[in-house]
Amino acid sequence: MDSIDTTAPADWHDFYVDPFPGRKGSERITDTCGKCIGTGLYTAPTHFTDGQGRPICFDCRGTGTRSRLVSSARATARAHAKAHAEHVDTTRAITARRAAFEAEHPGLRDQLTEAHLSMRDGNPLREKIGYLLDSLEDYTGTLDDDEVRTAHELLEQYELELAARRPVPTGRTLIQGEILATKTTDTQWGITVKILVQGEGWRVWGTKPSEISTAARGDVVAFTATVSASDDDDSFGFYSRPTKAHIIAAGIRRTA
């Protein structure tokens, strides 16, 4: 096959493969049913049964095979080829816009990526930078002027956050700070709610104490717990055995 011109719109004919070369469009072909893999039976709960009450495949109605015209198979192959060509055009456009953006704003994408990778899940700043990177990488390939300004503001916030980092207090200690994020997980012991608490230059992660079960993101809380620092970041820690928990202030920054 000749090389495809990457400057022109993709031609779906370049991606089309005749599924049944040499066959007439009016011919009928029989394939194994893809839903039941030829068994004719449906293994999930269903009300669709045969005369003997067996759950049968709805697609092939229990035969295990599907019959279709060659012309129908070719129509499906053409649709897939056109979708592929459209995807190629979209990918090329995003790549071109990304290259133009990086030429106009050299280093900005790399700075955003480095900042995003250095922060942990649950950090609101990481989430905001992630939205911009998603736009650059997958959606549009570029940022508009407002988004570029936002990107520089977020990087400034990141630098301030780095400068303000302090080692997390370890051992049995008092934890006081704002809840930045919550996460509900289903464990072998039941439903557990984890919280990320921001202190003065440090953050800790652990199970939400039952005494503050109503606390939400933005609330300032306090409790005593045993804290151990992360191996790769001394400003981040994990706490356990929280006691004497209470809410100091509610809703300081719920929209952050």
Take residue 111 and report the two structure tokens written for it. Answer: 């700075």
Q: Which run of H or of E encompasses 181?
A: strand 171-187
pLDDT tens-digit readout, 161-174: 899 999 999 999 99
pTM (two decimals): 0.61
Note whether 196 and 214 are within 8 A (CB).
no
Q: For the segment 109-143, what is each residue's pLDDT rounded down to a tens digit?
A: 999 999 999 888 878 899 999 999 999 888 889 99
Confidence (pLDDT) at 252: 59
What is the residue-wise DSSP string for 10-54? PPGGGG---SSTT--TT-EEEEE-TTTTTS-B--S--S-B-TTS-
Evaluate if residue 1 carries a pLDDT over 50. no
User: Is beta strand 220-229 parallel, antiparallel or unpaired with respect to 171-187?
Assistant: antiparallel
